[in-house]
Amino acid sequence: MPKNKKASQIIHLMENCVLVLIFLATIYAIGEEIYLVIVNRTVSVGDLLLMFIYLEVLAMVHSFFESGKVPVRMPLYIAIVALARYLILDMKNMDDWRILAITVAGLVLAITVFVIRIGHIKFPYPKVPGSEE
């Protein structure tokens, strides 16, 4: 077996191991969050947004397992939700400039997602022989 193919298989195995660890850690974090919601007997917007972040991480892991690729937009969605959660939870303790900076960062991320989406529609990836897409 050629060296490159063996190295590629080892890297692929390591990727899958790390993905399983990310999956297990995310499931644990979701369980921990649900436990806290049950113990506190209250659900806040911050809790829901955190669960959406976990859901996006799981979707990203699933996407990588299915296709071997992570769509660029998924981490951007996670970043947008994380900024929204940060803004919602800490807004009372922030000065106006920090609120504005976080809002602008969210807007830049949203525009980036839009531009990437338009780019995928106008300039689709070339078809790879043997792929299902």
pLDDT tens track for 88-132? 999 899 999 999 999 999 999 999 999 999 988 888 877 766 655
Taking CA atoms, 113 is separated from 11, 49, 109, in Å, by 29, 19, 6
Q: Pick from 82, 29, 26, 32: which is nearest to 58 by CA?
A: 26
CB atoms within 10 A of CB 106: 18
The per-residue pLDDT for 3 is 67
